[in-house]
A and B are shown apart, each in its own frame.
Chain A
Amino acid sequence: MIEVDGTLKSRLAFWLLATVSVLGVLLLVEAYFSSQRAAERAYDSQLEAAALTIAEAIRWEGGQPVVEIPSAALQILATRHQERVFYAVLDAKGQTVSGNLDIGIPPEWRRRVSSQPTWLNDTYHGTQWRLYGRELDSAGWETQDPVQIWVGHTMSGRDALTEMLFEQAVTRFVIMVLLAGILMLLAMRVALAPIRRLRQQLRRRDADDMRPLDARVPEEMREMAETLDSLFMRQRDGREALLRFTADASHQLKTPLAGLQTTSELALQSDSPDAWRQALTEVHGSAGRTSRLASQLLSLARLRHAVEASATARIDAMALLHETTFDWAQRDVSQAHDIGLASLPASPQYIQGEAWALRELLGNLIDNALRYTPPGSVITLGAVCHAQTLELYIEDDGPGVPPETLAHLHRPFERGGRQDTEGSGLGLAIVDSIVRRHEARMQVESAQKNGLKIRLFFPYLTQHEEK
């Protein structure tokens, strides 16, 4: 079942968008502050220049600093943005030598400026001001008192520059995002090209083309391509197994059919009713074997190649065992044998499974026992409750199987080294398939006296599964 869950493009686009949004917010915040810093640096340097210009105009007259404020200094302070300007020249005692606004300079600011030039933000009558103060050591003949120069201006220029720089940053960012988006789209096309190529290749492929893929794929897709390849390989193997099986099966069918053909041909050439009767008997027996072989082949094919697992159910193995044994006991084929059921556990024993398959399983085991044992043999089925598993077994007192062939009895067309029976060699193979479908275990061993005992161990239905 293929469920379409969005597109790779939208997924990539979503993550790109999310990343860009988060990064974008961070970048824009950073851009704003760096714009502010840049504007501050630009205008702070003008404050510095203005202060220096004023410093040059300071003269000493009679031990007192005198300053004739140069117009240029005020021009510099005002900047292009026509800021309101502030300047003050303070003597060593903090007295104003010259100044224009009554922005008070607190003593602690004066102290700070005495150690190093300082920039400060201040609010004066509800307006933000940027102030700069520096101290000037005068090299006069009479005095060396320091003079402090304070300058300042309003901040509309800074705000405007910050705004402009920020707008530029935003514009650059937006352009970058757009470019990145376009590049991303292109990159996605390029990156997804191998998937597209692979898809086209798969689409063009013939239904029975199971060769490995011949495609150039990037590292990231190697696993998928390899998985596809291994899927093809499994399918190829499966198909080959099926072909082999079909070939084996047709061979198996051809042999008795050839026998039928030759027997009936010989009978037709003969004039003796005895010969006809003889031939007809052989034909009848062979036809029975052949049709049984065909049905077993069908069962095996169905078991091995069933794509959908049939619905499993909670099954009382005891009832099933009883029912199946009962069924087989009254068949014609069983009449020469003594088929019986050992006494079973009194309570029902539940396992998870497919009833038809389990019936098939037991039927094949009984059928096998009937065919590989001489008439009059005793065949007993039974069940034993172990701690972890439920054991179903079938036991006969026939001739048994040599120990060396016990291990591969379950292979198709294996007859336990016997060619004298009516068996097809498929019975145990079918049993094996069903056992594996039920996650059970099969154990083939020699019975106590002689004969064969086949034991099947099924997992109990757990409490959890019982719900």
Chain B
Amino acid sequence: MPIRRVALVWLLGLLAPSFAWADNPLVVEAALDREVAAPLLDAFEAAHPHIQLTFRDRSTLEVDARVANEDNPPDVVISSAMPWQMARVNEGYAQRLDSPAAQAWPEWAKWRDEVFGFTFEPIVMAYRLDLSRHMLPPKTHADLHTLLTQHRETLRGKVTTYSPLRSGVGYSLFQQDARYTTRFWDLVTAMGATDTHLEANTRAMLEGLSEGRYWLGYNLLGSYAMVWAQSHPEVFVQVPQDYSLVMMRMAFIHRDAPHPAAARAFLDFLLGREGQRVIAGETPLFSVRPDVVGPYTAQRLRDQVGERLYPIPLNASLLAFVDPSRRTAFMDRWQREFHRLAHPEPAQGAAAIESRIDKRSQR
């Protein structure tokens, strides 16, 4: 690694004079853990030493809010909340990228050449070693439903998943789940019945698992979970065997980017062979490019899991998820189903204290 790094710096040192954007700042607003993305950012800074990268790791909601901030727009916006990213692009907040890397990017992972899905992150279930002592860990969604139904009292309070209200990613995943099968609502009911804890992000779920508060997590971002599992042997990651959603982190250059050249360089790096190689080799974000080799590539994941990977389609249908009335309807149904078999007394779960109205949906 150090040798490669040195080589890279040396190579870019040679190329440096030809780079016009000397000492250019670059602001990236990202819903992407800095920890996870660190190798990628390091590689970028090494490749473009004159660009001063400011990487702000925020929640998807904050990132989305920053997009519409007219006074201080970011250069690049990265978020895993796909419908919101798509809505922003549809509103015209993105600018087109016409570089060769963008042209070569697979059609299914980009929209309008404005927004690009540059990672390929499977959505997984995670469980604690304790679970397998009591029961057979679930391999499919049906397994999970059966488990929740049969071991309702054992698992009460030990299950966790995303809060659809507080997490854009979670909401999107549930919407997508609901699109694939109506039995999803049975699962929601079952989760409600076990007083499932609703968390705002994967990290919180993983921490809960490690701490022993939770035994089972549903719809975790595989990228984080897999890294976590490597350092926390008590946590196991299961890619669902019936179907596995795949989330893509979407990046676009802001329409009013103050440093568009640097922004284009950053995106080109993300989509380029080098950036994707770092993603495949040094992050668990999984590379989309089929010509990149490494432990974390979409290709390798397909080889392991088979063809049951269902990437969330990167197209206009995502816009439906952020439709306020549709969201309201979905949330209404969620609440209904979640509380169908729950305890009548005010729930101690997070779901109960969530306000019904999400500010984001008010435009």
Contact = CB atoms under 8 A, between A and B. Distances in A.
B90 interface: yes
Contacts, number: 60
Nearest to B363: A102
Contact of B323 (A72, A75, A77, A100): A100
Given A82-B112, A84-B92, A127-B92, A98 B317 contact: no
Contact of A71 (B87, B112, B179): B179
Nearest to B321: A71
Nearest to B322: A100
Contacts of B89: 84
Interface residues of B, number: 21
Contacts of A100: 87, 90-91, 319, 322-323
Interface in A60-106: 66-75, 77-78, 82, 84-85, 97-98, 100-102
Contacts of B179: 71
Contact of A70 (B315, B320, B324, B363): B320
Nearest to A102: B363
B326 interface: yes
B184 interface: no
Contacts of B315: 75, 78, 82
Contacts of A84: 89-92, 112
B90 A98 contact: no
Contacts of A85: 90, 316, 319
Interface residues of A, number: 22
A203 interface: no
A449 interface: no
Contact of B326 (A69, A75, A102): A69
A125 B92 contact: yes
Contacts of A127: 92
A127 B92 CA distance: 9
Interface in B309-335: 315-320, 322-326, 329
B111 interface: yes
A71 B314 CA distance: 12
Contacts of A78: 315-316
B91 A101 contact: yes
Contacts of B363: 102
B111 A82 contact: yes
Contacts of A97: 325
Nearest to A84: B90
Contacts of B319: 69, 71, 74, 85, 100
A78 B111 CA distance: 10
B325 A74 contact: no
A69 to B, nearest CB: 4
Interface in B274-333: 315-320, 322-326, 329
Given A66-B325, A82-B111, A84-B112, A75 B317 contact: yes
Given A75-B315, A84-B90, A85-B316, A98 B112 contact: no
Contacts of A72: 317
A171 B105 CA distance: 32
A194 B324 CA distance: 83
Given A71-B317, A77-B316, A84-B112, A98 B325 contact: yes
Interface core residue of A72, A78, A85, A127 (most chain B CB under 10 Å): A78
Contact of A69 (B111, B112, B323): B323
Nearest to B329: A68
A74 B329 CA distance: 18
B325 A68 contact: yes
A353 B87 CA distance: 103
B175 to A, nearest CB: 9
Contact of B320 (A66, A69, A102, A125): A69
10 contacts: A69-B325, A70-B320, A78-B315, A85-B316, A97-B325, A100-B91, A101-B90, A101-B91, A125-B92, A127-B92
Given A85-B90, A100-B91, 8 more contacts: A67-B325, A67-B326, A68-B329, A69-B326, A71-B317, A71-B318, A98-B324, A100-B319
